[in-house]
Amino acid sequence: MLFGAAAAAPASAQDLLSPKPLAGWVDELRFGVQAYDVDYAALPFRVGEWDLSRIENVSFDVLFTTPDLDAFRWIGSPRPELGATINFGGHESLTHLGLTWQLPIFDTPIYLEGTLGAAAHTGYNQGAPAGTKNFGCSVNFYERYGIGTKLGDNATATLSYEHTSNNDWCDANDGLSNFGLRVGWKF
Q: What is the mean pLDDT of residues 20-49?
A: 88
Return the pLDDT at 160.
Answer: 98
What is the Cα–Cα distance from 187 to 184, expressed in whole angstroms?
10
Question: Which of helix, strand or coil describes residue 128?
Answer: coil
Q: Is 79 a residue whose pLDDT tops 70?
A: yes
Q: What is the pLDDT of residue 187?
A: 87
Q: Over the stretch 86-118, which tens digit does the pLDDT of each residue have?
A: 999 999 999 999 999 999 999 999 999 999 999
- E strand or H helix at 15, and its extent? helix 2-17
What digits encode the pLDDT tens for the residues 138-166? Answer: 999 999 999 999 999 999 999 999 999 99
User: Hey, what domains does the chain have and what are their CATH numbers?
Assistant: 25-186 (2.40.160.20)
